[in-house]
Amino acid sequence: MSVFDDKFKGIHVYSEIGELETVLVHEPGREIDYITPARLDELLFSAILESHDARKEHKEFVAELKKNNVNVVELVDLIVETYDLATKEAKEKLIEEFLEDSAPVLSEEHKKAVRNFLNGIKSTREKIEYMLAGITKYDLKIEADRELIVDPMPNLYFTRDPFASVGNGVTIHYMRYKVRQRETLFSRFIFSNHPKLVKTPWYYDPAEGLSIEGGDVFIYNNDTLVVGVSERTDLKTITLLAKNIKANKDCEFKRIVAINVPKWTNLMHLDTWLTMLDKDKFLYSPIANDVFKFWDYDLVNGGAAPQPVDNGLPLNELLKSIIKKEPVLIPIAGNCASQIEIERETHFDGTNYLAIKPGVVIGYARNEKTNAALEKAGIKVLPFKGNQLSLGMGNARCMSMPLSRKDVKW
């Protein structure tokens, strides 16, 4: 039985808020058990997760999605299904690219040991789980100076970032840090080999070598793509993306808006500063007010290589130019929040909600002030506990990649 239900026809995401049909997630696996205090910064975590609680929280998140009739696809299941359907050559290529991309860089001796280990595993699921979780000298039964021969990929539960669904295509990303760059190996494998995804247009290829991550990529409507200029995504990357989209006849977007946000390592993407939650309702952190800046790319009249134009608009006017009506701007923690409340709830990704239909969102229960402000503004909030998951610096939007949404009637 396929991970996809019968309704899934391929990538189809033309908004941030259309009713969510199919979404990709990943429950934190053994990879989070290999996070140590000395490597927190390197592995991009603020603290060590309590693994059992983190998995329990993620199960609650998935249960809420399923309760709302969303087809939830687990990343491991998708990789396993793709591997089992792939050719012998594609399977061998995946293993060899994994060995080449591994961190730390493998010696020839260790490369041979890891190759033999993986090829000796009969269960596809077990093989994939080792590739994601990391491989120790004890797994390989060898003597070595370090315990981890292949590092874990502990950020995998943030499925938003390695690629993004954009209209009927995808952008497959070159990620900023080495620890996450390896994740896109599996995105490339899936979109190159799964029968339901292999014909998906690519609007960005990680081989282009300029950093971009999915937390910065938004589809506001059929005409407008919005991309953050952040700690992880550069303006020159968006300029290249605009050129790629302009050149691809499959893509119908008419405009790209680039939004500058604070370059913070703990709030690293646009979706930690500003999100669209309904047709005219946006949640934002006031901390970014002095940093917000907006550039336009005209994909209709901008020539073969559209360039960014500083439009000089304030946030409300910029959003009005996209949605063609006055936006409702909801600040983190509400209109009367103190600076302390704003800073605390911004820190725990208080803007990073996932819309599962217009005006219905899911996110952490811990951001109580923001949840109350959203309810007051007419947004229905489906809260779940995320005290451990939030230590990886992401909320529900970070932990999800929509693969299919129903179209929105504007």
Q: Which residues are catalytic?
A: 398
In whole angstroms, give the CA distance from residue 299 to residue 131.
40
Q: What 3-state DSSP class applies to 56?
A: helix
Question: What's CA 367's distance to the chain center, in Å?
Answer: 21
Tokens, residue 297: 């790319």
Tokens, residue 207: 């081989």
Q: What 3-state DSSP class applies to 388?
A: coil
- Give the number of other Cβ atoms within 10 Å of residue 94's Cβ: 24
Question: What's CA 104's distance to the chain center, in Å?
Answer: 24
Alpha helices in 194-294 (DSSP H): 235-247
Counting runs of H as helices and runs of E as strands, what totals does the chain give? 13, 19
> DSSP letters along 147-213, please?
SEEE---GGGG-TTSSEEEEBTEEEE---SSHHHHTTHHHHHHHHHH-TTTTTPPEEE-GGG-----
User: Would you say 70 and 20 are in contact if contact means Cβ atoms under 8 Å apart?
Assistant: yes
Burial class (CB in 10 A: 0-12, 13-18, 19+), 248: middle
Contacts of 81 (CB under 8 A, 6+ apart): 2, 3, 194
Q: Is the dihedral of CA 66, 72, 76, 78 positive or negative?
A: positive
Dmax over Cα atoms in the chain, in whole Å?
A: 65
Residue 348, CA distances (Å) to 25, 51, 169, 222 in order: 20, 19, 31, 31
Q: What is the CA radius of gyration of the chain?
A: 21
In whole angstroms, give the CA distance from residue 169 to residue 156.
21
User: Would you say 63 and 174 are in contact if contact means Cβ atoms under 8 Å apart?
Assistant: no
Q: What 3-state DSSP class applies to 48?
A: coil
Tokens, residue 307: 């360039």
